[in-house]
Structure formats: structure tokens, C-alpha cells
Structure 1
Amino acid sequence: MSGPEYRLVSVNTAPERAKRLIGRVIEDVKDQYTIVHVANAERIEDVKSTVEREKPNVLFTASMWTPEQAKEIVDIAKGVVPDLKTFSIPQGLQVEKGPDAVVEYIKENLPGLLDS
């Protein structure tokens, strides 16, 4: 375990699923990154207060959001924490390809996000 600790907030209407999927990612990358899933916001309206409360340095938007909604979520979050690293899972990925595809997609993109 090395490097900084990343505080992650997810934005997902299914908090249990978010917790499960992100838990799998955290477990799989724990030799490279220390990631703590500090909170999940279930609604766009909850993003600002969640980010203000948790002060994350990483935010994921889930695949149920449209690109427009994901952009709105990111804009709200960056309004609170300007240098926040954000990652939007493509709309429909979970529905079309299942949770394993989401976990793999996050893991493929995580180094580029966190090491930037």
C-alpha cells in the first residue's frame, strides 16, 4: 500500500450496488492505490452537500446517468472541490454488459485518472 489516500464519492441511485462494485475495484487495486469509498449520493440534488461534507478527491458517476446529467454532477462537485478528479461510467454499461464490465472499465481507466 503506497501513495496518497483517495477519498471517493460515488453518485448512484442504487447505493448498495455502488458499494459492492467500488468495493471490488478497491480490493483489486489495493496494491497500487489506497481508496476509501466515503459516501454515495443517490440524487443530483444531494451531490453538493455530500461533496461539501466529505471533501473527496475523486468522484464517480454511475452508468444510469445520461452524459448531460453526468456533466451536471461533475460541474456541481467541481464547484465545491475545483481540483476534484472525476470519472463518468458510460451510460448503459451496467445494463448492457453487467457489473463485471463496469469493474473492468473502472480498473482500466483508474491509473490515468489517479496518476494525472
Structure 2
Amino acid sequence: MGSLNVEPLLSLDGLADGALVEAEARLGDDSESLVIHRQGDVVRAWLNVCPHAGRRLDWAPGQFLKSREGLLVCAAHGASFELEGGQCVAGPCRGDALRAVAVEVREGQVWLVGAADA
């Protein structure tokens, strides 16, 4: 397996509370698109892939749909995911979950867990 990012994914200041953003990350030998969500001081990340059909969740690069209930909605088929554990709570993949990617906040930056210090 190759290395993780050696640079932060993004600055915490650039991620508004409640926001969903996309970031590219090096996971092993592959570059992957991630969905990153901030809820107060907690930042979570998942692969930007819907478990229903393997398509990206965003409707345009980095543009995500969020329901009034605060769910992430897949732009392709309407699957809805809660943003604490990434569980699908409505739509074609109910009961499945997004694939989590471990991140942490260090010195005001969002990093992949295990990424080298800069």
C-alpha cells in the first residue's frame, strides 16, 4: 500500500459549520474524491461514492445536495445519508453506509489520520 497525503486536505477555517465540501486525497496508490463535513469541532469524511450504484454523490464537482432534515442526498438516485455515521436512511441503498475515511484536525488543518506531519 502506498502513502497517505503529506499535506493537509483543507483548512478548518475554510470549512463552515454544517458545510459539505469535496477534497482529493491520496489513499494508498489511488487519488480519491472525499466528502468532508464539519459539525462544530467534529470533522468527518467519506469516499465520494454512493453505495447504491458506485456513482459520485455530488451533482457537480464539489456541489452536494443537503435536505432540509440535514441529510446528504445522492444526486444520481436520491439516496439520503445521515452525517454522523454515513448511514443511508432513505432511498435505494437504505441500510448501507458510506465508506468512512479517518480524518483529524491538527493545528487548524484537516488531515487524513496517519498522514505525516508537514
Fold match (TM-score > 0.5): no
| Pair member with larger Rg | 2
TM bucket normalised to smaller:
0.3 to 0.5
The structure where helix makes up a greater share of residues is 1
* TM value normalised by structure 2: 0.32
* TM value normalised by structure 1: 0.32
